[in-house]
Amino acid sequence: MGKRTPKAGLTFLELLLAVAVSGLILTAAAQLMFTFAHFWQQSEKEPRFIHHVDGVVSFIQYCLDQSENLSGDSISPFSWGPPPGETAPAIHFRLESATPFFVTGILPSPQVDGWLVFDGDKGLSMLWHVPRKLTKGKLELHQSPVSPWVEDFELGYFDAEKNVWEYESYAEEGEGEKRAEPQALRILFNQNGRRQVRHIRMRRHDRHVLVY
């Protein structure tokens, strides 16, 4: 009789071992995938929030820097007065060039008068309108949200005697009409417990002054 030719294939024990090893590999791969997904989710949330905060602050600073001279003072080109139909004063700026944030119809408005408005429940928004010549003499006041995550909007004043900055909340009732024109802003953002604080200078010659 000739020699038996060994059959190709796996024994039952080898098959069980292969299945076990494959299961361990798949389990490790799944754990690694979920770990990466968790880290990605956490790392994405914070930067997105910070990008939002930085974008809001940059936009407000742009509006103040590019504002036409409403106050008669080139150092403080914005004015401090109530929006149409309101009694409490707000920061009023005017942009003479089109900005994509302010859109009527399908095109950015060529000129905009805007006011920064804070509401403790809704966050920060802007009241704005275009020149009446573009709306057939009618005043069309729009309100656009800027950030729902603004927890507090504070007005800053420099005390020269103490050489310190003092801030008070814009949301304090009954104080709006008594306040002087602010020299700085401090904005507190809060998204699900993640907080960021940003400062904005109000006067063009204060670029070199530390605001805190």
pLDDT digits (tens, 9 = 90+) for 121-167: 899 999 998 887 777 778 888 899 999 999 999 999 988 898 999 99
Say how far apart CA 46 and CA 57 lie, in whole Å.
17
User: 150-159 and 184-191 as β-strands: parallel, antiparallel, unpaired?
Assistant: antiparallel
Residue 23 included in any domain: no
- Which band of pLDDT confidence, cut at 50, 70 and 90, is reported for residue 106? low
Q: Are 200 and 182 in contact (CB under 8 A)?
A: no
Residue 136 included in any domain: yes
Calculate what percentage of the chain has a pLDDT beyond 70.
68
Cα separations (Å) of 119 from 39, 74, 122, 127, 183? 34, 29, 5, 12, 21
Residue 208 included in any domain: no
pLDDT digits (tens, 9 = 90+) for 162-188: 899 999 887 655 444 566 788 899 999
Closest CA to 93 of 126, 123, 121: 126
DSSP state of 75: S
Q: How many domains does the chain have?
A: 1
The boundaries of the domain holding residue 136 are: 48-201
10-18, long-range: CB < 8 A, 24+ apart: none
Task: Note the pTM of the prediction, 2 decimals.
Answer: 0.69
Residue 185 included in any domain: yes
Say how far apart CA 153 and CA 185 lie, in whole Å.
7
Residue listed under structure tokens 């306040």: 179
